[in-house]
Structure 1
């Protein structure tokens, strides 16, 4: 099942993300969290639920959830995922189920609109969240060159700190 939101399309089974027809690099764990959130947009997903679904049988800290949610917010905007204090996370953007034929034809002609529902309403958008392979999907050219960006950000933070103390 493919879902559309903003200019994106997400395949819940293949865990692939595309924007305007071009594949976007998305690692498996953020993709699994995205699948969990968009398949049940009416539900608030707790950190423990996300940990159990995405890292089953593994001991990891809650920090990995924060980091992956942050990565998804960087891709889709801060308003895409709402944080409910001491409860969890919920998908906020309107979703559209994309029919199989629309992947090769005009998407706008075959989209069935579905809104991200409020917490108490029920909506089922069936996508499976069980997946294999811990690999980067698709095109690496769309991801930032972190070995170059990280030192620049560190230097900028150091300069800002120096200026703040002056």
Structure 2
């Protein structure tokens, strides 16, 4: 089952998130939580229900739920998931189901990663990956501090001689 919201599409079975045709890397546990929220969006999901669906048979604290909710809010915005005090969480963004015909018309997506999706939230092996797009720009950019230091020294020297 696939859903469309904002400029995203999410495949609940494959746990694949796309944004305008580009695939975003999303760790397994936040992806499972997103699938749970989307597949029954009108329902308020309790922490216990989320723990059983996303971490079945595992002894984990409520903190993993809070972290995964925070991870999804960082990705989709604070208004995407509403907290109901002492009740649970509910999906809030307008949502539509994507039909099989629409999926067939969409070209094959390209892979892209995002820093906001590359966290170890819900990742059992606690490994993180860096974004190739950001690594490429980091390697080609030059540090600005030498220019800033030279400018500051020039201003200080000018102030010393003219004051």
Task: Tell me the TM-score normalised to structure 2 length.
Answer: 0.67
The structure carrying a bigger helix percent of its residues is 2
Gaps of 5+ in 2: 120-127, 131-163
> For this pair of structures, how many residues does the alignment match?
118
Q: Verify: 1:86 aligned to 2:58, yes or no.
A: no
Q: Verify: 1:142 aligned to 2:118, yes or no.
A: no
1:63-107 CA distances to partner (integer Å, 9 max, x unpaired)? 000000000001110000000011100000111111112123269
Gaps of 5+ in 1: 108-137, 149-166
Aligned to 1:74: 74
**Is this contact kept in 2: 1:51–1:65, CA < 8 A?**
yes
Distance 1:53 1:106, change over 3 A: closer
Q: Which has the higher contact order (CA 8 A, sep 6+)?
A: 1
**Is this contact kept in 1: 2:22–2:112, CA < 8 A?**
no
Aligned to 2:160: none
SS in 1 for 2:113: helix
Task: Tell me the TM-score normalised to structure 1 length.
Answer: 0.65
